[in-house]
Structure 1
Amino acid sequence: MKASRTTINVAPQSSFRNPDGSLVLIAGPCSAESEEQMLKTAQQLKAIKGISVFRAGIWKSRTRPDSFKGVGTVGLQWLDMVKKETGLRTACEIANAQHAEAALKHNIDLLTISGRATVNPFAMEEIAAVLKGTHMPVLVNNPVYPNLELWIGALERLQQAGLSDFGVINRGFSTDEQYPYRNHPRWDHMLQLKDLYPELPVLCDAAHIAGRRSLLYPVSQKAVDLGIDGLLFESHTNPPAALSSPQQQLLPQELDLLVNAVASKVKLTGTTELVEQLDELSQQIESLDDELMELLLRRTAMSKKMSQRQVGDLQPSLQAQRWQKQLHEWLQRTTSNGADKSLVAAVLNELQQQNTRNTGLGASAII
């Protein structure tokens, strides 16, 4: 969607744009789990060139109530310990005014605002009120769905509270077609914001866009090629045992290799074009899904017409024979062209059942 142009005054010496043009790198576990885990991870991340901020999830926004919701304020104490032990600046994500107040009390160095808060003007008003007069550096995640006005509105509310050291994070969006990403990057959406506000630092949360380790490099490289100012990663000393998002977290050693590859613009075989190819295939699948839905709607309408024009018992009998013959031919074609036979059979069975409901045909299932 088009967004109106307003004035956003960004601090000339931003916490989110390095003067030498190098990337701002922020990393840490998806969730704070223990004091030992936090310190061990931070010590290993500090050794990676370029990482200057350690982040960890303290409060986890969950769709289902019984999921792990984070350790809460005790995790802020662990972050403070990390800062004292390693010298790294610390960051955490907040979603409401209470989170902001707790983070300020525990001397967190910078905040990121949840995409679920960005989409809620009431939450943004309350967060901005808490941060007023603090000069806290703030990164604003994109709203969960593509809406530039909400993204810009969040920045305006922070500006009205007297803040100017802020930037934004593209962490991907919830869209109808996510594959192959966890959250679709909508690079065009990010670029529109960059065009409107070239002075605004833009970072990319590669972990939440990729959703899996295999896509972290191509997503990161794509973001860098588009001119972003920094990257956020998730790292854990034992990813398989992580309490949240194990599939998108890297060992610190693995993250070191990834950061070096991105910084040196290494073109790993096939990965430079991978994201663009996947984006194109994703668009083609979306188009085919639309066509399939249209065909199913047309077929349903025809099936209903047929049910209204039955003639005695002869028509259902003939139709049942024709249907069984057609099913046999379709399954033979499935075997020859390499399609997923179980998927095709399931779809055909459902179509057959619809015919039974609409026309009274009694053909047996094909599986």
Structure 2
Amino acid sequence: MNTNLDIIPINKWYKGLAEKPVIIAGPCSAETKEQVLQTAVEISKIPQVKIFRAGIWKPRTRPGSFEGVGTIGLKWLAKVKQKTKLLTAVEVATPEHVKICKQNPESVDILWIGARTTANPFSVQELADALKGLDIPVMIKNPINPDLSLWIGAIERVYNSGINKIAAIHRGFSPFEPTKLRNIPKWEIPIDLKLHFPKLDIINDPSHISGIKKYVSEIAQDALDLNMDGLMIETHINPEKALSDAKQQLKPEELAVLLERIKYRLAENKNPEFISNLEQFRYQIDSIDQQIIELLAHRMLVIEDIGAYKADNNVTIFQLKRWKKIISSRLQLAKDNNVDQNFMRKLLQLVHKESIRKQKNVLKLKNASK
């Protein structure tokens, strides 16, 4: 896996994008010329916003939903560029969409690939082939399901087509059970993506994660606190009448308030005193982690001894009564020490899974030696 892609960051795509976080705003869908222009004009009054987004082709989950106005929307985006200083971005889902955008450079500055498309490597490759020879930035949303490899693969396919102005969009993942959010953030996945591609900018989409505007500000703050490189926030001149995703879209004035109230933190602080104090904290963490790993290694040695003892006495690996006792006692211990019980349960399950694997290996070796 190539982690050294020579990706050009957003601040070098166009003039006016030097400052972070990069703020992208606009309606989920371009619905009418008036709606697009009114929204864009109001958004252009917000100094933090540099890019106007609008979907003109909308791949919907079910037929019969509003699927976008199509190519005519590009004419409206050209008007947006004439009336404001905003750059424009649209979603492309097919090679034909790419071709049409190529034929209308006065309308589109940036493309993005949606979550449903990213989930299909065949579709991504078709788009990558259509992008060959173009010099246009492409943003790639995470796939609907929490599969980091799919996201990485989509980025690599686009990069291999000759596009090096690439960013990722984190819009969350479909939940497996009901939650207060439309999509679960699973912050560890975009963080892992950053580890794979250190030069890659990641834009957070709090609108799609939230599902309703009540949580947009909270998710946006979380994203910036985790050093995401920007925000894409759905904004509509009249959200109540929006033809798609009405509940999660903000009014321009609501967006302005959000961007004023949000706390922008430094990615780093070069103050010597701060660095010295931070290093002391990190030293403590490093020392504790070393002890945890050494204790886990010792635990696994004991597990292997237990596995051998069970095998010698013809006893099954999994003991339900013992497992219940471990869960109950450790969760209580976690509670007594102010450790989150959900976290502790997940940790116990991981350790137990590895313990089962170790004991199975011991049993196989015992059986093979007979």
Q: Look up the equivalent residue of 1:76 and give its one-letter code.
A: L
Q: Distance in 2 between matches of 1:179 and 1:74?
A: 37
Runs of 4+ in 1 over 4 A off after TM superposition: 16-21, 280-284
Q: Which residue of 1 aligns with 2:39?
A: 41
Q: Which residue of 2 aligns with 1:97?
A: 95
After TM superposition, the structure 1 = structure 2 runs for residues 211-226 of structure 1, keeping only pairs within 5 Å, are: 211-226=211-226
SS of equivalent residue, structure 2 residue 73: helix
* 184 and 127 in structure 1: CA distance in 2 versus 1, 3 angstrom threshold: same
1:264 offset after TM fit, Å? Answer: 5.1
Q: Look up the equivalent residue of 2:57 and give its one-letter code.
A: W
SS of equivalent residue, structure 1 residue 102: helix
Q: Look up the equivalent residue of 1:248 and give its one-letter code.
A: Q
Q: Distance in 2 between matches of 1:263 and 1:43?
A: 25
Choose from 64, 70, 89 the match for 1:66.
Answer: 64
Identity among equivalent positions (%) equals: 42
Deviations 1:188-243 (A, max 9, x none): 11111112222110110110001111101110000000001110011111111111
Q: Distance in 2 between matches of 1:182 and 1:257?
A: 23
Q: Distance in 2 between matches of 1:8 and 1:18?
A: 24
TM-score by structure 1 length? 0.69
Q: Distance in 2 between matches of 1:281 and 1:120?
A: 37
SS of equivalent residue, structure 2 residue 182: coil
Q: Distance in 1 between matches of 2:154 and 2:16?
A: 23
Q: Which residue of 2 aligns with 1:11?
A: 8
Q: Which residue of 1 aligns with 2:113?
A: 113
Which stretch shifts more, 39-48 or 120-129?
A: 120-129
Q: Distance in 1 between matches of 2:42 and 2:342?
A: 40
Q: Look up the equivalent residue of 1:197 and give its one-letter code.
A: F
Deviations 1:239-276 (A, max 9, x none): 111111111111100100001112557xxxxxxxxxxx
After TM superposition, the structure 1 = structure 2 runs for residues 1-367 of structure 1, keeping only pairs within 5 Å, are: 4=1, 6-11=3-8, 14-15=12-13, 21-107=19-105, 108-263=108-263
Contact 2:144 2:174 in 1 (8 A): yes
1:52 offset after TM fit, Å? Answer: 0.8
Q: Look up the equivalent residue of 2:8 and give its one-letter code.
A: A
Q: Distance in 2 between matches of 1:207 and 1:282?
A: 29
Q: Look up the equivalent residue of 1:143 and give its one-letter code.
A: P
TM-score by structure 2 length? 0.68
Q: Look up the equivalent residue of 2:22 and give its one-letter code.
A: V
* 256 and 282 in structure 1: CA distance in 2 versus 1, 3 angstrom threshold: farther
Q: Distance in 1 between matches of 2:158 and 2:62?
A: 30
1:87 offset after TM fit, Å? Answer: 2.4
Q: Distance in 2 between matches of 1:251 and 1:221?
A: 18
Contact 1:118 1:124 in 2 (8 A): yes
Q: Distance in 2 between matches of 1:62 and 1:45?
A: 26
Q: Distance in 2 between matches of 1:177 and 1:93?
A: 28
* 56 and 283 in structure 1: CA distance in 2 versus 1, 3 angstrom threshold: farther
Q: Look up the equivalent residue of 1:191 and give its one-letter code.
A: I
Which stretch shifts more, 178-187 or 240-249?
A: 178-187
Contact 2:168 2:202 in 1 (8 A): yes
Q: Distance in 1 between matches of 2:342 and 2:177?
A: 8
Q: Distance in 2 between matches of 1:163 and 1:145?
A: 25
Q: Tell me, which stretches of 5 or more residues in structure 2 are unaligned?
A: 266-338, 347-370
Contact 2:8 2:199 in 1 (8 A): no
RMSD (Å) for aligned C-alpha atoms: 2.4
Q: Look up the equivalent residue of 1:6 and give its one-letter code.
A: T
**How many positions carry a matched residue from both structures?**
269
Contact 2:27 2:236 in 1 (8 A): yes
